[in-house]
């Protein structure tokens, strides 16, 4: 079966954006909570799968590949089970460009979905901390979780922004090409390879970081895991809730918005909005 043409994908993306902005607040919050949990499941699963490799810097690239292979399950759950994901909903910009969605409705959707995603991701982080699974491999999973969070809260603003741009350029492209596939297998394969590319590359995803960093902050309360993480005093002091929001989440979120809107939705609207190619 032939995939949708690019102009057909544009139309589908616009119509889906219209639908998303017409949902009630309660429906949006429920679906966004679930999507945040799905991405957090993928984040914790990727850490569990690769933590032994990530602890060995000589195998760091291989660990990234394994993380990337697992992480795509999160977006698959969002697409097939149904969910409202902030990074994907940046494509509502297509409806705004077509004057079918107001800027106010788009921003309201983004805010509600962002809040719901955070609640879902924090729920999984809290449950993982209390599950005992961070003791895996003698506490190595807990240590790797801490070290990952410490790296993210030590990023400078501009690199974090750029990593966010690169991330959602690919995430929105994964959504875009999945919209173009006409069968389930095609959608799965397209999501898998594009998301694997983003996660393997080490780019920054705001919703995934709603799991990665809070999980690391919680895990740092355990002296054994914190010692195994082998962080400097500066890195430990930087791993806190204020840095989570200001140092990481703010620039990464702005980068995610720019990457999805300015590098996917808007360019395709300008290229294809008045053409059937």
pLDDT-based confidence at residue 55 (cuts at 50, 70, 90): confident
Distance in angstroms (rounded) separating the CA atoms of residues 219 and 224: 10
Instruction: Provide the residue ranges of all domains of the chain, joining segments of one domain with +.
Output: 6-272
Question: Where is 60: in which H helix or E strand?
Answer: helix 60-81
DSSP class of residue 166 equals: H
Least reliable range by pLDDT among 47-56, 69-78, 209-218, 248-257 = 47-56
Q: Is the pLDDT of residue 57 over 90?
A: no
pLDDT-based confidence at residue 53 (cuts at 50, 70, 90): confident
- The answer to whether the predicted template modeling score (pTM) of the entire model surpasses 0.75 is yes
DSSP class of residue 51 equals: H
Distance in angstroms (rounded) separating the CA atoms of residues 33 and 83: 8
CA nearest neighbour of 201 among 72, 76, 64: 64
Distance in angstroms (rounded) separating the CA atoms of residues 112 and 89: 11
pLDDT-based confidence at residue 3 (cuts at 50, 70, 90): confident
CA nearest neighbour of 273 among 72, 96, 46: 96
Pair of tokens at residue 99: 């004057």
Residues, the chain, total? 277
How is domain 6-272 classified at the CATH fold level? Answer: Glycerol uptake facilitator protein (1.20.1080)
Pair of tokens at residue 183: 């069968």
pLDDT of residue 58: 54
Largest CA distance in the chain: 60
User: Averaged over 86-102, what is the pLDDT?
Assistant: 97
User: Averaged over 193-204, what is the pLDDT?
Assistant: 95
Mean pLDDT of the chain: 95
pLDDT of residue 277: 43
Q: What pLDDT, in 10s, does the model give residues 122-147?
A: 999 999 999 999 999 999 999 999 99
What percent of the chain lies above the pLDDT cut of 90?
A: 91
User: Averaged over 62-76, what is the pLDDT?
Assistant: 92
pLDDT of residue 276: 46
Distance in angstroms (rounded) separating the CA atoms of residues 2 and 71: 28
């Amino acid at each position: 079966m032939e995939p949708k043409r690019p102009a057909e994908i544009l139309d589908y993306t616009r119509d889906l954006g219209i639908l998303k902005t017409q949902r009630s607040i309660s429906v949006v919050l429920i679906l966004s909570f679930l999507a945040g949990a799905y991405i957090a499941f993928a984040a914790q699963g990727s850490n569990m799968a690769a933590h032994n490799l990530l602890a060995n810097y000589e195998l760091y690239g291989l660990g990234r590949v394994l993380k990337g292979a697992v992480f795509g399950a999160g977006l698959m759950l969002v697409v097939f089970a149904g969910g409202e994901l902030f990074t994907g909903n940046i494509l509502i910009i297509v409806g705004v460009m077509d004057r079918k969605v107001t800027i106010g409705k788009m921003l309201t959707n983004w805010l509600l979905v962002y809040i719901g995603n955070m609640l879902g991701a924090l729920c999984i982080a809290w449950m993982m901390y209390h599950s005992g699974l961070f003791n895996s491999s003698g506490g190595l999973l807990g240590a790797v979780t801490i070290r990952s969070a410490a790296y993210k809260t030590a990023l400078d603003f501009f690199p974090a922004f750029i990593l966010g741009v690169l991330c959602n350029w690919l995430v929105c492209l994964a959504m875009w090409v999945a919209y173009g596939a006409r069968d389930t297998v095609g959608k799965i394969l397209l999501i898998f390879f594009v998301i694997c590319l983003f996660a393997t590359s080490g780019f920054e995803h705001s919703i995934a970081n709603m799991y990665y960093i809070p999980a690391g902050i919680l895990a740092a309360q355990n002296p054994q895991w914190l010692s195994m993480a082998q962080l400097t005093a500066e890195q430990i002091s930087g791993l806190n809730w204020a840095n989570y929001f200001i140092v990481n989440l703010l620039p990464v979120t702005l980068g995610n918005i720019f990457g999805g809107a300015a590098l996917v939705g808007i360019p395709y609207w300008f290229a294809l909005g008045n053409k059937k190619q």
